[in-house]
Structure 1
């Protein structure tokens, strides 16, 4: 049957083009997601600052937790820290005595404007060499890299003279060198260093530190790389799983439509004694041939797509530029296996009904659409509905974005799967309604929709999927952004906000200033779970910030206490007076007493800590400053902004990643409608022969497309609304998601435009041929 399948493909290229496109897109999507996942698991980060040092000794990059299970086995879990863990400078003396060590170089790293500051002694780690000038000798002297322009540098309210320029400049960071003493003073970590370079080698162990070589040096240098890898693992896994489910749904629908359009041909084969097994082998062989070709080409496209995704993630700051994308044969092979498997299964499922009917009934089955659905499909549809209900209830209980986001996408997808499975029943109900546009075109479209509800269901499925997934992706983000914006707007009492690098003491001395609050953003871990946190100075806090305290008081907030949001308190079982053990961003443990519980966690973070506690445990202690009172003109000279101008979180990564699925759904819509319209060449030709005008045929097709868009809009919007309501309930406590009307209308307009274009273009090609010639070609 394989040779027969090859001949069939040769003579029905147009009929299999749609399946080929769907399979190619599926392979590309799965390959790109697999590349992201593999990069998160195995990607390495090339060192820049530490490239010249064979070994870097630094603090542990992870927060670790050791547990013992019921069998007595010890297990250790680790999660990356958000800040650098500094180590005692005394470790350098211990390393100098180690065998095989010739030189030890200490390093401190701290922010200086948009650059990073270091002591000149650490120039050997790259190594940096002087192109002109000399090394800094006095505390007011600096050496800058080759990109720097100017003769002076301003840092921490003090001017420094540029006395030297290096011959090198690092690709992703600007560098400024101070004297060793000044660098240690500016870093503010007395007796501590960020890293130690060891030459030429070191193979031992150091108490309180780890030795890193190879690409591990890059991970020490770029703390964001570990977070990016973790993000890629979760994103690649969630996106890959969702992509695979969407791909299977689209591929099954496309192949089912292809088989449905060949009912007459398959019925003829059954009538001339082809066995059910031969029919299944024929369709399976065709699916294997089409999917193999699409899988090979799609995997290549997927590699290019993965490279493009990397550039977008680097542009949005989601991953460092020197985190190299892993390109291996595993994602393409996995994509090919998934594509071939999905196509094979889809072909067998689609062929099941045709292959099982008796030869005598075959032609009648092809000529007249069956009235009911197979029991297996009905059962699967009911199970999908039940699954949608269960997932909706689950989403409504999730209050963290990392847990809720993937389940939310899955929930919308499961609702759409239920629509796809029960589509013919839904279509039959809709076509029974007394809805019809005036004129001959409206009469013909209504008759066509009633006569072939399966075709309408095949069109509604990808349109519903497109609308449901697009609305869910867009409006879950707007719901979170709007809730956070509302809480922040309600909670900020300050009249102005100053950026980093401004002296809070100087602002307090300005005339008319009533209160100044320094704010740092960081994250902490509690039992390895990550929580967003802010650190604030408490003096005059009530004049600049209102967190919506529901229990306790922020006046008691100090270095030994913490305020928690109602969401975090509920998850952790905390109340005022409870003791909370947490790990600060640099791995420092802290045991704090809950002083207050507040309600505006989305706008201000899960936890609020004392600024004095956190400032010494973050890489960049410069935050923003909230100012109450003061002269607006004077504050503007300091770079002050209105609170409303403070930007929120950046959802670009979610939009870029999930936008791929939306694009795939859009391609599926065009593909399905084009296949459906192109297969009706003989039908359209017959209408022309019996006197229907070209304009009436086009009106009929437009009316059918608009009917499908209307049904899809209702179904897709309902699936998205149910999902978004549950998401909003869990994440914001409100059952009202934020849905901008213009954005929603734009989504529907885009879906309608796609549907009309995908119908009109192939229809015009079909109508451009003389009716008699078109009928003859189809026969």
Structure 2
């Protein structure tokens, strides 16, 4: 049967072109996302060059931690590296001990202070950077390219990334903003480092070097430092020196590192965290892509087998056994899968670059991220393509084996018993599973609800396709009723054609169904999450003005005092922001952490506690949102653990579980508690409570003048909410675009493929219409109405699947938000998706129809010579009934 399969593929390649394209694009989608996903794992290390390249040994505190979960044989550990350096204490004392070790030529106590260099005309623009002592410049190394080294307080050397235009020149006076406040500096020198690359955030300034004394004064804890870097003497082995240094620091908790371990790993951890988010996004893309690929390919195979029933019956007539027919169909799929998988892998290599470019464009991936070709990923994609081809044709091959020889005599396209036993079993199982997941949604939490909703959508799509023979006829009848009423015969003809060829209609509606369902559920979930968050903030934010800082430095204490002293301001609520990981019962959960003063919050927020009391947020306590409490399994009164981004461990008691967060982080600590564990944090936001009668716009303008001096901006209550809403909507749309972009392109091509294949099946009916006297315009209109009916059927089923998903998502959000959940219907987005499906479907249907009409034009009748009545000539024929064409 392999020979027959090869001959069939060679002679009737047009029959398989749609399946070939669908399978190739499916493999390309999987290979492209797999290449980028693999690249995120390979590039999680710290980028080169490093901070201590010129040092031989680096002494520092541990930058990683491990948490053990479970017990017994099922126990496991989760390890994390901090994204901010964990400082060592008594730095000068440690540096002196290290310097006294034999073989040490120089020991440098290295400190860094997060800073922002304000360079705009009104000090409202600047670049995130870091301030370090000039002695540390030799560790990278940085070299002076102009001017001289800083010699006294207030002098600075700016280090620029190669290729970046300098933001200042020697002699310029600039403002350096740190958590301690504003500092005026004069540029006395410029430095650069050979081999360095431009920062991923586009910043031109790599570092600002001050005197060692000034950096120590600017440090939040002057006795602490990032590390002690060591330069070995001539001929001294670095590893041996590291061992001697370790012996000189017993019981200190510090370690001496050499080689690739000299770097703290915080830069690599920050990069890994960003790439981890990309990996999660790509995993969702791959999930959607795999589902769409399997769904479309299997449907295309099934449709192609249905078109060949008479051909397969003819094989049975000439003596082919059912097993031989099955082997022939599987052989066709295997050969087709091999070739399509190769083409798909080639396309996937090119597509990975397009995916990476989109991620970079929207700021979801580092600017310097590269995607090397991964042979293992391509092999896996190739195998998956072959497996998808075989699985997609397996059920169809079983149906092919059951074709009876007598079906060679079948001329009608009316299908009987389309609702097979396999469809009943598949539809019933997936429908039951969807009902189970629907009931699980309310208790899944926000993040869990999103994941379950995505899976639920796909399961519902499978169930609807399985039950399509039951759903399609009544939907066609309803959808075609207006057309039949408006167009008389052509609309009725289109409805009858769609209703009689149930398998063809269901196959054409299937890709539209999956497109609308997946797009609708994702857009609806994104819109609902964003709208709920904005509703929450709108309902509970009382502050009349919000000041938002740019970058890590924030608004220092003197800036907060200036804002609080403005006319019309009755109170200022600064919120320090950092990040960390919550230790739940079974995992470490990344989270944003805020530092607040519970007494100050009342003037700017209406916060209520579902359990516990916000007033108890004092000392070593924590307040969390209901969502965080559900995720981490925390409850009021329980002692819990969390780790800050510099790996500092904290033991806290849960004081309250909040009904709402009003735009605040989901984890809140008392300000003095967090600043004691992580000194140097400055408020990222300052909420200003206004006096009665104060005008928010006027206060916002006055606050803006103060905020600009600290690289921040001030927004009125309404402006802040509008900005938050626009940002949330833009973020949601970007996420949906990235998730759905390639999948929607693929389903669009799948829609075209399926309808082109359907046009071949419809060719016999069109020829019959022409022979009955129908004009070409009437045939085209009947095909157009049938296509419109198919789009409506697929759209209705897709909207139904997305609606059921949103029903469950709505229950989950309503439970976790305390009544502020919102579910806007994405009319515009869904209209665009349906409109796109309609355009693709109409083009894919009409072009083959027009070509078919040209190929079988009915020959003109020979002109007859009129004869007069007479002997031997009958009377002239009288036209009793108008031609068929005039009645259609």
TM norm structure 2: 0.80
Q: Deviations over 1:414-434 (max 9, x none)?
A: 100111222222223434668
* Residues 412-421 or 35-44, more deviating: 35-44
* Residues 88-97 or 595-604, more deviating: 88-97
Q: Deviations over 1:102-158 (max 9, x none)?
A: 555424241324221231222234322111011112221111124432312212322
| Structure 2 residue corresponding to 1:627, chosen from 660, 673, 688 | 688
Work out the CA distance in 1 between the residues paired with 2:411 and 2:494: 23
Work out the CA distance in 1 between the residues paired with 2:613 and 2:80: 32
- Name the counterpart of 2:148: 134
Cα drift, residue 662 of structure 1: 2.8
Q: Does 1:523 align with 2:541?
A: no
- Name the counterpart of 1:272: 318
1:347-366 maps to which residues of 2 (within 5 A)? 347-361=393-407, 363-364=409-410
Q: Deviations over 1:227-282 (max 9, x none)?
A: 13433443343432332222111100011112222222222222222222332232
Q: Deviations over 1:716-753 (max 9, x none)?
A: 11111111221232234367633233333333323322
Cα drift, residue 35 of structure 1: 2.1
SS in 1 for 2:443: coil
- Name the counterpart of 1:777: none
| Structure 2 residue corresponding to 1:582, chosen from 616, 624, 642 | 642
| Structure 1 residue corresponding to 2:67, chosen from 60, 65, 68 | 65
Q: Does 1:171 align with 2:198?
A: yes
- Name the counterpart of 2:15: 15
SS in 2 for 1:153: strand
SS in 2 for 1:188: coil
Using a 3 Å threshold, how does the CA distance of structure 1 residues 145 and 70 change in structure 2: closer, same or farther?
closer
Using a 3 Å threshold, how does the CA distance of structure 1 residues 208 and 709 change in structure 2: closer, same or farther?
farther
SS in 1 for 2:187: strand
SS in 2 for 1:636: helix
Q: Does 1:160 align with 2:185?
A: yes
1:247-286 maps to which residues of 2 (within 5 A)? 247-286=293-332
Cα RMSD of the aligned pairs, angstroms, is 3.0
| Structure 2 residue corresponding to 1:674, chosen from 738, 756, 759 | 756
Cα drift, residue 197 of structure 1: 4.5
Q: Deviations over 1:691-721 (max 9, x none)?
A: 1112211211121122112222221111111
1:639-650 maps to which residues of 2 (within 5 A)? 639-642=713-716, 643-647=720-724, 648-649=727-728, 650=731
C-alpha contact 1:705 1:755 (8 A) present in aligned 2: yes
Q: Does 1:617 align with 2:678?
A: yes
Q: Does 1:760 align with 2:846?
A: yes
* Residues 651-660 or 250-259, more deviating: 651-660
SS in 2 for 1:346: helix
Work out the CA distance in 2 between the residues paired with 1:540 and 1:444: 72
C-alpha contact 2:413 2:500 (8 A) present in aligned 1: no
- Name the counterpart of 2:780: 698
C-alpha contact 2:577 2:681 (8 A) present in aligned 1: no
Q: Deviations over 1:54-78 (max 9, x none)?
A: 766655554421246324x863212
- Name the counterpart of 1:776: none
Q: Does 1:231 align with 2:231?
A: no
Where in structure 2 are there 5+ consecutive unaligned residues?
118-126, 233-237, 247-251, 707-712, 860-888
Work out the CA distance in 2 between the residues paired with 1:224 and 1:552: 35
Structure (1 or 2) with the larger CA radius of gyration? 2
Cα drift, residue 594 of structure 1: 3.1
| Structure 2 residue corresponding to 1:207, chosen from 241, 253, 262 | 253
Work out the CA distance in 2 between the residues paired with 1:520 and 1:238: 32
Cα drift, residue 27 of structure 1: 0.7
Cα drift, residue 635 of structure 1: 1.8
Cα drift, residue 407 of structure 1: 2.6
Q: Deviations over 1:572-619 (max 9, x none)?
A: 565554433322232222222333332113732322222333346388
C-alpha contact 1:61 1:85 (8 A) present in aligned 2: yes
How many pairs does the alignment contain? 771
1:291-440 maps to which residues of 2 (within 5 A)? 291-361=337-407, 363-364=409-410, 369-401=415-447, 403-431=448-476, 435=481, 437=484, 438-440=487-489
Work out the CA distance in 2 between the residues paired with 1:238 and 1:618: 38
C-alpha contact 1:562 1:607 (8 A) present in aligned 2: yes
| Structure 2 residue corresponding to 1:533, chosen from 574, 593, 607 | 593
C-alpha contact 2:221 2:679 (8 A) present in aligned 1: no
SS in 2 for 1:312: helix
- Name the counterpart of 2:29: 29
Q: Does 1:720 align with 2:802?
A: yes
Q: Deviations over 1:456-489 (max 9, x none)?
A: 0101111110001001111111111111111112
C-alpha contact 1:219 1:225 (8 A) present in aligned 2: no
Where in structure 1 are there 5+ consecutive unaligned residues?
774-779
C-alpha contact 2:623 2:658 (8 A) present in aligned 1: yes
- Name the counterpart of 2:868: none
SS in 1 for 2:295: helix
C-alpha contact 1:412 1:723 (8 A) present in aligned 2: yes
- Name the counterpart of 1:287: 333
* Residues 35-44 or 240-249, more deviating: 35-44
C-alpha contact 1:35 1:327 (8 A) present in aligned 2: yes
* Residues 199-208 or 102-111, more deviating: 199-208
* Residues 455-464 or 710-719, more deviating: 710-719
- Name the counterpart of 2:76: 75
Using a 3 Å threshold, how does the CA distance of structure 1 residues 292 and 317 change in structure 2: closer, same or farther?
same
C-alpha contact 1:486 1:603 (8 A) present in aligned 2: no
Q: Does 1:447 align with 2:493?
A: no
Cα drift, residue 511 of structure 1: 2.7
TM norm structure 1: 0.91
* Residues 499-508 or 653-662, more deviating: 653-662
Cα drift, residue 83 of structure 1: 4.0
